[in-house]
Amino acid sequence: MPVEIDIERVAHLARIALTDDEMAAYGKQLVHILEHAERVQALPTDGVEPTSHPLPMVNAFRSDEVTDPLSRDDALAGAPDVEDGYFRVPKILDE
Amino acid sequence: MTEWEAVIGLETHVELQTKSKMFCGCPVDFGDEPNTAVCPVCLALPGALPVPNREAIEGILSIGDALNCTLTEDSLFYRKNYFYPDLPKNYQISQYTFPLCVDGHLDVDVDGESTTVGITRVHMEEDTGKSTHVGESGRIHGAEHTLLDFNRAGVPLVEVVTEPDIRSPEQARAYGMELQRIVRALGVSDARLEEGSMRFDANISIRPVGSEELGTRSEVKNVNSLRSMQRAIAYEITRQIEVLESGGSIHLETRHWDEAKGVTKPGRTKEDSADYRYFQDPDLLPLHIDDAWRERVRDRRPKLPAAKRARYRELGADERAADLLTDAGDLGGLFESAVAEGADARTVAIWLTGEVVAYLRREETEVGETSLTASSLARLAEMTTGGDLSATAAKEVLAGVLAGEGNPRDVAEARDLLQISDVNAIEAEVDAVLEQHPQALEKLREGDPKPIGFLVGQVMRATGGKADPRMVQDLIRKKTQE
């Protein structure tokens, strides 16, 4: 079954700017991946328990205990821009 | 002329009052200093892994249970992907398919009539950080840049989604109030709209009465009180009717409530849910809620507000008092315990919803922080019905107890409010008064009842108001017949 993909839309959703060449190349690769998924989906799975995680484990919890946060200097150390203890980012909407 | 019907669904976010965040140990109780309750997990530093807070899972299960939901046996966390810097991961950990609680309902009284609102789902997610848009407008549009504080990022957040079952702004408000009472009764959140620990978004559409089809909806955000939610929904219904009746059409969009102007204003056009590219979070293991766990949740379900209201009515509080006692959680408990200790229900209900509520408001405190206990209420009620205290004096003693002056008897003694219950002492005062006013006594003896009030007043004055007026009256009558 032929798989189609709107690579431009996928790139936009991920906010990735692609050149025409990249779009063609990645588009082809994504189609391969989806075709593989199609093949897996075609397998008979009656009587097979669905799995949602590769590990046969559930319920890894922590108890509700407070641990020391980072110092603010450490928290902000990797930020490209900082103002008054805040992370500073460029304006969000171009409108 | 078309008759319109409103179709309303509510999405409610409730911040859980755990000690630590949803997926890391950062404190949930932080001050005003930005970025002081953050760590590699909630800042999304490379390699950091989330681990769910068990207490938060218990909290959401309690909410789902109280809303009559089915607690899902196998549940999953998903990533909701979006590009907005209020979460540093570029996604929010949330739930999509297999949320923890599904298919519930909540009964809500509207103007004395019982209605049922279906609950589609209750799911677990994390709160976002706070953005401050800096620029001349102070709004996101026209901002020069944005400042981010991630203290709130990762606080456990529960989302409760209703079916589009709500038909009026009043019903929406009643639902909101009942949900707020429930989460407070469960002790999982303080649910304060003005502080953002409870937030409502309303999906509103209209359709001609009798139509089964849903109209295009708008989503109204930014209501910070139940009253403004009711107003915003009422405004939006009127707006949509006007648009449709003038030949226009409704757009799927988010609108913001402007409290000062009393209008909703258009925000961003809604992205369809596929744009969030939900997928299962590979960092988190599935949740498995087995029968034993579900049973534990059911077993610890406290008495819910609807049951409490019914109980207080049954004990003898009137409708208004029962509502007040239910809303002020601690007061209801106090009422029940005091009645259990033998206090007269009506008297205690009147004190609690009158003097006590007024005192707490005035002093901006909680009843738990005062010295008022169920036993002191019971003792006070006993002293009043036993004739040791007049109704007025009882209220004064209550004020003293609230202010921490001691138990009712000590306060009554210290403030010299105890009624004289010694008949001989009162009789002596009565005799003295009658001796001073022979004409009044004469009139009484001749069958004129008028002087009795005057004589009682004189005895009350002589005893400094501490005699039981009924006893004084009886004594005077007795003397008249001698």
Among B372, B12, B364, which residue's Cα sits nearest to residue B182? B12
According to the model, what pLDDT value does residue B139 have? Answer: 63
Q: What is the DSSP string of B421-456?
A: --HHHHHHHHHHHHHH-HHHHHHHHTT--THHHHHH
Find which of B100, B254, B285 to mutate to test the A interface (most A CBs within 10 Å of its CB): B285
Pick left, alpha or beta for residue B404 (phi over 0 → left; psi -120 to 50 → alpha; otherwise beta). left
pLDDT, tens digit (0-9, with 9 covering 90-100), for A3-17: 778 898 888 888 889
Find which of B18, B43, B61, B82 to mutate to test the A interface (most A CBs within 10 Å of its CB): B43
Asked if pLDDT for residue A2 goes beyond 70, the answer is no
**Are the C-beta atoms of A52 and B13 separated by less than 8 Å?**
no
Partner-chain residue, chosen from A15, A69, A91, that has the shortest CB–CB distance to B83: A15
Q: Which of residues 40-79 of B touch A (CB under 8 A)?
A: 40, 43, 45, 51-57, 74, 76
According to the model, what pLDDT value does residue B207 have? Answer: 95
Question: CA–CA distance from A40 to each of A71, B110, B282, B404 (Å)?
Answer: 48, 53, 20, 73
B263-269 and B70-71: which strand pairing?
unpaired
According to the model, what pLDDT value does residue A76 have? Answer: 96
Task: Decide if A17 touches B, using CB distance below 8 A.
Answer: no
| Extents of the domains making up chain A | 7-42
Question: DSSP strand E in B97-152: where?
Answer: 101-110, 113-126, 130-134, 145-149
Mean pLDDT, rounded, for A31-49: 91
Give dist(CA B70, CA B467) in Å, integer.
62
**Are the C-beta atoms of B104 and B63 separated by less than 8 Å?**
no
Asked if pLDDT for residue A95 goes beyond 50, the answer is no
Partner-chain residue, chosen from A57, A65, A88, that has the shortest CB–CB distance to B285: A57
Task: Decide if A94 touches B, using CB distance below 8 A.
Answer: no
3-state per-residue secondary structure call for B318-363: CHHHHHHHHHCHHHHHHHHHHHHCCCCHHHHHHHHHHHHHHHHHHH
**Residue B362 — φ and ψ, nearest 5°?**
-65, -45
Residues of B in contact with A5 (CB under 8 A): none
Q: Which of residues 43-82 of A touch B (CB under 8 A)?
A: 52-53, 55, 57-67, 69-70, 72, 75-76, 78
Residues of A in contact with B89 (CB under 8 A): none
Among A48, A65, A16, which residue's Cα sits nearest to residue B25? A65
Task: Give SS3 for B371.
Answer: coil
Residues of B in contact with A62 (CB under 8 A): 25, 51-54
Among B152, B148, B156, which residue's Cα sits nearest to residue B131? B148
| Extents of the domains making up chain B | 4-293, 303-414, 423-480
The model's pTM? 0.78
To the nearest whole Å, the CA of B194 is away from the closest chain A CA by 24
Give dist(CA B7, CA B187) in Å, integer.
31
Q: Is it true that domain B423-480 has CATH number 1.10.10.410?
A: yes
Interchain contact, B146 vs A15, CB within 8 Å? no
**When comparing pLDDT for A68 and B323, which is higher?**
A68
According to the model, what pLDDT value does residue A9 have? Answer: 86
Question: CA–CA distance from B29 to each of B19, B37, B283, B293 (Å)?
Answer: 7, 9, 26, 28
Interchain contact, A91 vs B143, CB within 8 Å? yes
Residue of B nearest to A90 (CA): B145
Interchain contact, B131 vs A92, CB within 8 Å? yes
To the nearest whole Å, the CA of B395 is away from the closest chain A CA by 44
According to the model, what pLDDT value does residue B46 have? Answer: 93
Residue of A nearest to B275 (CA): A13
Average pLDDT, chain A: 89
Give dist(CA B83, CA A94) in Å, integer.
14
Question: CA–CA distance from B390 to each of B75, B419, B420, B428 (Å)?
Answer: 61, 7, 11, 21
Give, for all 482 residues of chain B, the pLDDT tens digit.
Answer: 789 999 999 999 999 999 999 999 999 988 889 999 999 999 999 999 999 999 999 999 999 999 999 999 999 999 999 888 899 999 999 999 999 999 999 999 898 789 999 999 999 999 999 998 887 665 666 678 899 999 999 999 999 999 999 999 999 999 999 999 999 989 999 998 888 899 999 999 999 999 999 999 999 998 888 999 999 999 999 999 999 999 999 988 899 999 899 999 987 665 554 578 899 999 999 999 999 999 999 999 998 888 888 888 888 888 778 888 887 667 888 898 899 998 898 899 999 988 998 888 888 777 777 888 888 999 999 888 887 888 888 999 999 998 888 889 888 888 888 877 677 888 888 888 888 888 888 888 888 888 888 888 888 888 877 787 888 888 888 888 77
Interchain contact, A62 vs B25, CB within 8 Å? yes
